Structure 1
Amino acid sequence: MSQNNIPNKTADPYDVVVVGGGPAGLQAALTLGRVRRRTLLLDSGEYRNGSADAIHNMITRDGTTPAEFRAAALAELKTYDSVKVREATVSEIVQVPGSGFVVFLSNEGVVAGRTLLLATGLRDQLPPTPGLPELFGSLAAHCPYCHGFEYADTHVAVLGSGPQVPRMALLMERVASRLTVLTDGGKLDPDHHAILDAAGIAVRPEVVTDLRRSGSRVTVAFAQGPDEEVGGVLVSTTPVQSAPFADQLGLRLLPSGCTEVDPVGRTSMRGVYAAGDSAHTPATPIPLSSVVAAAAAGKNAAMALDADLLTIDHGLLPPGAPKLASKSS
C-alpha cells in the first residue's frame, strides 16, 4: 500500500499491537499489562490447536481444553485496564517510518502501534490421507510429547515415510503396546528400515485408503491386505506460517519458513517482535511447537519489547540509531 493511502491513525498509537490470540500472544499481553503498556491484542479466532481435544505436557494445565485455556487467559487479562482485546482478523500491516505500524483489519478497521508483536503461529498441512482431517487433534496427532501418552498401551500407527518417521516411532516405544509404521506407498530409507526392524517395529508399505473412527479406536484400511485397528495415529505434518505478515514487512526468514528472531524475540526489523511457533532463533533448526514454549516466548518478547521502549523513551539509543514513534502524551 502506498504511504499516501495510509489513514491518519498514528496520532495516538498503542504502545504495542499484538497480532494473534494463542498462548504466545495471550502471555505477551499479560506481561505487558503488568507494566501498564497500552496494548491491543487482535485475535482472529483461529488457532493451530483449535481441533485438539486437550492441551498436554504443560504443568498445571495438563488435560485442559484449548477453549478453557483461552477463556481463563482472557479472564485474567480483564484485570489489566491497559490491555484491550479485540476479535479481529488482520489483513495487512504497514510500517510508517517515524510513527510505528498501521494495522489494517478485514472489517475495514484500522489501528496503529508504536511496536508490533507477531504471535500468529503456524498451521499444519496434513498429508492427503482420507479420513485424517476428521481425526486430527484427537485420535491422530503430530507430536508424541504433546499427545502420545493418550495412546498409551495401545497399538499405535506412525503414518509416513520421511526421515522423521523412525524417531517418531521410537519415541513411542515405551508408551505403545505395539507399533506399526504405515508408509502409505512411500519408501523408507534402507538404514531407517533396518533400525525399525531391529526394534521390532512392523512396517506396512501399502497405500492407506481410509482412516475411520471405530469407537475409541481407528480402523486403517489399505489398498491391499487386511485392515489394522489402532489406538492412535501419529503423523508428520508440514507446518507453514498461518499469516503473511513476515513477508509483508520483509522480515528475515529461516530455512524452516519461520521468522528469524534473536533469543528474546527481536526480528530483523526494529520495532517488530515475534513469538510462538512461527518464529525461532537460527540456533534452533525447527520451532519449539508447544503451548508452554509459545507462552514462554511471548513473555520473553514482551519483556524485551518493554525494555527497548524504555530505552527509546529516555533517549538512550546509540548515536545514529533510528527512533520509533515518540511516547504518546
Structure 2
Amino acid sequence: MDTPHAIDVAVIGGGPAGLQAALTIGRVHRRATLFDDGRYRNATVAHMHNVVTHDGTPPAEFRATARAQLAAYATVDVREERVETVAPLDGGGFLLTGGSGHEVVAAAVVLATGLRDELPGIEGLDALWGDLVAACPFCHGHEAAGRRVGILGSAAAPHLSRILGPVAGSLVVLPHEDEAPDGLPDGVAVAPGRVERAHRDGDEVVLTLADGREERVAALFVAPRFTQSAPFAAQLGLELNPSGCIRVDELGRTSVAGVSAGGDLAHQAALPMPMVSVVQAMAGGQLAASGALMGLLSAAH
C-alpha cells in the first residue's frame, strides 16, 4: 500500500463539475488531485447542447480539452482511479482509499460524482438512452424540431409538453401508468395503453403498446428516477434533500465541514431538485471549489 500523502483538496469525479473544481483550485496554486474513474452520467450522449461555445461538442472531446488545460497547472494531479471510501480523520482532514489500495490524505474534499439514472422498466429503452430517449428538452429538443415527439409518463407530461410545444410538430403522451395526465395543453394526443417495448427504426423510436399498436416518434422524453452514483454521502453522513441529492449552501458546502459538493448530485434546500445541465454542473463545481478553499483559509487562522 502506498504511503498516504497530504494534498489540499481531493476532487472526486471527472465530469464537468469535477474538472471545473480542479481548475479553480489549480488557478490559485493549491494542491489538488482529481479522481476520475471513467464513468459519466452523459456517457451515452453523442453531443452536448445548450453549452455556449460548446454547443454540439462531444462530451469526450470536452473532457479531453479540459484535461489538457489542467495539465498546465503543476499543483493539479489527475488520477484515473476509482475512490472507494472517504473517511474523516481525527484532528481534521480526510483519508481517501482507492480501489487499488492507494491512499490519499486531503484537507478538504469536493464531491462531483453525479447521479445514476433509473429508467422505467421498458424493454429496449436503456439502449436508446442519451440518444433518441432523453430527459432534458433544452439539451435534446431542438434536434427533433417540427417532428412528432413523445413524452413517457404522466407526472411530467404537462410541464414537458408546454416546453416542447413550440419545438415539436406534434406531441403524444404515453402515460405508461394506468392514469392519463391532467392539465395537458390543447392538441396534445394521449396514446392508449402501456408501453411494452421500444426500439430504433432509422432515426425514430418505435413504441409498442400492450395491445400491439405502435407509436412512432422522433424523440422520447422521460423523467427518470435518480440516485447517488457513489456511496460517499452515506459514508460521511451528509444531510440530504428530499430529492435524495446532497444538501449544500450557496458555496457548495455540505453539512460536514471540509466536504463540498457540486454538479447533479447536490443542490440547495430551496430547490426541489438539481438543475441538471453541463453549465450548471460547471458552476456548481466552481462554487464547491471556492467553498473548499474558504474552509482551508479559515482553518489557517
| TM-score tier after normalising by the smaller chain length | over 0.9
Given that 1:157 and 1:180 are in contact with CA atoms closer than 8 Å, whether structure 2 keeps it comes out as yes
Runs of 4+ in 1 over 2 A off after TM superposition: 6-9
> Alpha-carbon deviation of 1:210?
1.6
Q: Does 1:310 align with 2:287?
A: no
Q: Which residue of 2 aligns with 1:221?
A: 208
Q: Give runs of aligned pairs for residues 56-95 of structure 1, distance below 5 A.
A: 56-95=49-88
> Alpha-carbon deviation of 1:157?
0.6
Q: Does 1:168 align with 2:149?
A: no
Q: Which residue of 2 aligns with 1:104?
A: 97
Q: Give runs of aligned pairs for residues 183-198 of structure 1, distance below 5 A.
A: 183-189=175-181, 192=182, 195-196=183-184, 198=185
Q: Which residue of 2 aligns with 1:281?
A: 268
* Matched letter for residue 173 of structure 2: V
Q: Does 1:236 align with 2:228?
A: no
> Alpha-carbon deviation of 1:212?
1.0
The structure 2 residue matched to 1:150, chosen from 143, 150, 156, is 143
* Matched letter for residue 276 of structure 1: G
Give the gaps of 5 or more residues in structure 1. Answer: 1-5, 316-329
> Alpha-carbon deviation of 1:93?
0.9
Per the alignment, in what secondary structure is the counterpart of residue 180 of structure 2?
A: coil
The structure 2 residue matched to 1:39, chosen from 32, 42, 54, is 32
Given that 2:180 and 2:190 are in contact with CA atoms closer than 8 Å, whether structure 1 keeps it comes out as no
> What is the distance in 1 between the residues matched to 2:41 and 2:286?
19
> What is the distance in 1 between the residues matched to 2:259 and 2:93?
9
- The 1:275/1:185 distance shift into structure 2, 3 A limit, reads closer
> Alpha-carbon deviation of 1:185?
4.4
> What is the distance in 2 between the residues matched to 1:208 and 1:52?
24
Given that 1:184 and 1:205 are in contact with CA atoms closer than 8 Å, whether structure 2 keeps it comes out as no
Structure 2-normalised TM-score?
A: 0.96
Q: Which residue of 2 aligns with 1:179?
A: 171
Q: Which residue of 2 aligns with 1:118?
A: 111
Q: Does 1:248 align with 2:223?
A: no
> What is the distance in 2 between the residues matched to 1:239 and 1:101?
27
> What is the distance in 2 between the residues matched to 1:91 and 1:39?
18
Q: Root-mean-square deviation (CA), in Å? A: 1.5
Q: Give runs of aligned pairs for residues 134-149 of structure 1, distance below 5 A.
A: 134-149=127-142
Per the alignment, in what secondary structure is the counterpart of residue 74 of structure 1?
A: helix
> Alpha-carbon deviation of 1:260?
0.7
Given that 2:107 and 2:296 are in contact with CA atoms closer than 8 Å, whether structure 1 keeps it comes out as no
User: Which structure would you say has the larger Rg?
Assistant: 1
> Alpha-carbon deviation of 1:188?
2.9
> Alpha-carbon deviation of 1:307?
2.5
Per the alignment, in what secondary structure is the counterpart of residue 141 of structure 2?
A: helix
Given that 2:2 and 2:101 are in contact with CA atoms closer than 8 Å, whether structure 1 keeps it comes out as no
> What is the distance in 2 between the residues matched to 1:210 and 1:222?
7
Given that 1:18 and 1:29 are in contact with CA atoms closer than 8 Å, whether structure 2 keeps it comes out as yes
Q: Does 1:207 align with 2:194?
A: yes
Given that 1:185 and 1:205 are in contact with CA atoms closer than 8 Å, whether structure 2 keeps it comes out as no
**Per-residue CA distance 1:169-213 (angstroms, 9 max, x = gap):** 221100000100001242135xx1xx32x5110101312122111
148-157 or 220-229: which moved more? Answer: 220-229
> Alpha-carbon deviation of 1:137?
0.6
> What is the distance in 2 between the residues matched to 1:250 and 1:210?
40
**Per-residue CA distance 1:51-100 (angstroms, 9 max, x = gap):** 11211101001111110110010010000010000001111111002140
Per the alignment, in what secondary structure is the counterpart of residue 179 of structure 1?
A: strand
* Matched letter for residue 277 of structure 1: D
> What is the distance in 2 between the residues matched to 1:176 and 1:81?
48
**Per-residue CA distance 1:197-243 (angstroms, 9 max, x = gap):** x5110101312122111111111211225322211100110011101
Given that 2:3 and 2:103 are in contact with CA atoms closer than 8 Å, whether structure 1 keeps it comes out as no
> What is the distance in 2 between the residues matched to 1:246 and 1:126?
22
